Amino acid sequence: MRQLVPFFVTLAISQLTVAQSRPVDPIIRQLHDPKSKQVLVVAHRGDWRDQPENSVRAIESAIAMGVDVVEIDLKKTKDGVLILMHDETIDRTTSGHGKPADYTWAELQKLTLRNGHGGPTRQRIPTFEDCMNTAKGRVMINIDKGYDYYKDAYDVLVKTGTVDHAIIKSYKTYEEVKAEHGDLLGGKLAYMPIINLSKANAQTSIQSYETNLRPVAYELNFSTDSALVNSNYQTIPQTGSKLWLNSLWASQDAGHDDERSVEEGNPNDGWGWLIDHGATMIQTDRPAELIAYLRNRKLHK
């Protein structure tokens, strides 16, 4: 039986009617609607503050909050099973040691997940298929650190009937993605390029994607305000793509981050700054608080 939200939640959550999860169809429509000014909330590794990151319970808890997208990470076992795991090793997040590829799926199931403080739990590492069955009809999934398994991930999405629930992304140029997975581009599996605006090829990469493929969104990272403002990012919404900005840590958003918004109590210069600069998707480690902020501004339903 699936376990839902933790026994108590933050004040921000208590101010929301979060126990009801929304059907995924309105989220999918909003993602593909260039006219929508609503901001989609992306929960980084699920609700990892209350549940083990990249776990089924972290996904369930994020859904209960009312998020639109849950970001997860993929690795592959020795016998070819896709699992949810961020690191190159299992040391930090499980009771085991070594690389996921050193273990079969059955061997990994003997291990347990750690919570966000490193403490033990009785939860197990989920498969990507578990993830998509949990998400089905309820929430979208962003596949991070999964481009190396693009075709395998697509096969799982087909099997679970959730191709339109997912967004896959990478730092690769359009030319690279076209050469490697061109047969899957432009279909129901949405693709999103990640652009580091400090890189020399950032502007040309955006232009190439705009010319050859209208991605569902662009994820932009920038360490200074000027790196964003002086880029050609303003053309992105004009082509109908969403603008995904991160509020996770300062190196990705020039300090307009969750810490500024929550711990420093200045959300208008954190999340608000990102929105004022065009964000229509925000990835956060504080999903409940971000949802409360957006609903107060009538930017999240």
Residues with active-site annotation: 44, 86
* Angle (deg, nearest 10), helices 202-212 and 174-181: 50
Amino acid at 11: L
The string of DSSP codes covering the chain is: ----S-S---HHHHTS--SSPPPHHHHHHHHT-TT----EEEEETTTTTTS-TTSHHHHHHHHHHT-SEEEEEEEE-TTS-EEE--SSSSTTTBS--S-GGGS-HHHHTTS-BB-TTS-B-S--PPBHHHHHHHHTTT-EEEEES-GGGHHHHHHHHHHHT-GGGEEEEES--HHHHHHHHGGGTTSSSEEEEEEETTSTTHHHHHHHHHHH---SEEEEEBSSHHHHHTSSTTHHHHTT-EEEEE-S-HHHHTT-SHIIIIITS-TTTTHHHHHHTT-SEEEES-HHHHHHHHHHTT---
Q: Identify the burial level of 82 via C-beta atoms within 10 angstroms of its C-beta, where 0-12 means exposed, 13-18 middle and 19 or more buried.
A: buried
How do 190-196 and 82-84 pair as beta strands? unpaired
Measured in whole angstroms, the distance separating CA 34 from the mean position of its chain's CA atoms is: 19
